[in-house]
Amino acid sequence: MYYVISVFILVMSILLILAVLVQNSKGGGLAANFASPNPTMGVRRTADFLEKSTWTLAVAILVLSLAATMFMHSGAGDADSAIKGQVENAQDPSAVPFNE
């Protein structure tokens, strides 16, 4: 499940990058290229759609990131027990005979 959520996060991140790059900081961007006399899908409507899609994608990435942490496998316990095993099985350096 973690990998499926990670793929969704990757796809939404790419879409978010594209949505941000299409926008112009001064109110132009994609909306300025498709200006039409028809007020139904005019400049303001396109800018509103891009802004809402940007916020929606950002919130979706946040929620999916939190969901991914719930499904993430933590390997810290395995590494801890491996280190403990090595420490417990280690020989005392002062007990090892020194050959000359």
3-state SS track over 26-63: CCCCHHHHCCCCCHHHCHHHHHHHHHHHHHHHHHHHHH
- Give the pLDDT mean for 42-71: 86
Give the integer Cα–Cα distance in Å for 18 and 12.
Answer: 10
Please indicate whether residue 71 or residue 28 has the higher confidence score (pLDDT).
71
Determine the pLDDT at residue 76: 53
Q: How many CB atoms lie within 10 A of CB 82?
A: 10
Give pTM, 2 decimals: 0.57
Q: What is the mean pLDDT of the chain?
A: 78
Please indicate whether residue 7 or residue 100 has the higher confidence score (pLDDT).
7
> What is the distance, to the nearest Å, from the Cα of residue 53 to the centroid of all Cα atoms in its chain?
17
